Amino acid sequence: EVSDTTSSISLADFAREASSVEWVPSGARTRSEKALFDHVVASPCSTSEHTEASRSNFRNQYDNDVTVWSPQGRIHQIEYAMEAVKQGSATVGLKSKTHAVLVALKRAQSELAAHQKKILHVDNHIGISIAGLTADARLLCNFMRQECLDSRFVFDRPLPVSRLIPTQRYGRRPYGVGLLIAGYDDMGPHIFQTCPSANYFDCRAMSIGARSQSARTYLERHMSEFMECNLNELVKHGLRALRETLPAEQDLTTKNVSIGIVGKDLEFTIYDDDDVSPFLEGLEERPQRKA
């Protein structure tokens, strides 16, 4: 329907312009009249260029606000925000019967810059890892911290993870960040994924960010093993999945890996830098991929 509408508009414009040009023999035309005739008659013949330009203008009419729907039933600003999640460095979350683990890949803009934090502490029983815009993640993290504090102040108990995740508010623009939330409450360990579209999912294991499909493939292949794993084995599975997102010439190091763990009788703890060494030492070498 969109392409038909665009074509009809182009033909209508052509008809109006053509009707305003007086038809005279080619030999009797002046130079300016001939140029006008060539513009009106020759240009509309390249319909593909007109169609592409019209589609671009048509798309831009519906991406100025998050409350505007396109005729195809899409909200373009949300789609743009979800693309930002795909550009962020990868992060992996998985759980067993007793623990939930987050493993994230940290980036540095240059050799002179420090690596950005990828795992953030929310409450004693909740932590998040991020993929996307760090500034948006900090804003959401502060909001989640405030909700947890309100629960402790008003009800004198930790906020259940499943109650925190569906909390939504409309305002400004979609947040260009995806979250993996690890938590532990009376129902056991949890791994949740949230999207800029306001969708959230309760997961046994999940990976988001750049090249995360390779990590999800690993998680799907070994998913049946996670529930019976002890903590060390669970972390190793997370590291192996995260390693799948790296190019062949790179590997996990203490500088580019961050780990977050929460579980029964264990508050949410973040391991960075040298604290990651014990987990990496028990990890086998990366198998060489066949060319």
Residue 67 placed within a domain: no
Question: For the chain, what is the domain count?
Answer: 2
Residue 121 and residue 48 share a domain? no
- Angstrom CA distances, 39 to 15, 31, 45, 221, stand at 13, 12, 10, 61
Largest interatomic CA distance in the chain: 95
- Residue 170 sits in the same domain as residue 261: yes
In a domain, 132, yes or no: yes
pLDDT above 50: residue 43: no
Range of the domain at 18: 2-61
Question: In terms of pLDDT, which residue wins out, 235 or 21?
Answer: 235
H or E segment to which residue 123 belongs: strand 119-123
What pLDDT was estimated at residue 146?
Answer: 94
- Identify whether 288 is part of a domain: no
Residue type, 254: T
Q: Angle formed by the axes of helices 2-19 and 31-42, to 10°?
A: 160
Rg (CA), the chain: 27
Q: Dump pLDDT digits (tens) for 112-163.
A: 788 889 999 999 999 999 999 999 999 999 999 999 999 999 999 999 999 9
Is the distance from CB of 100 to CB of 189 less than 8 angstroms? yes
pLDDT per residue over 176-208, tens digit each? 999 999 999 999 999 999 999 889 999 999 999
CATH number at residue 94: 3.60.20.10
Do 206 and 121 fall within a single domain?
yes
pTM listed for this prediction:
0.76
Residue 73, domain member (yes or no): no
- Residues of the chain with pLDDT > 70: what percent? 76
Asked whether residue 239 is assigned to any structural domain, the reply reads yes
Helices and strands counted in the chain (H then E): 9, 10
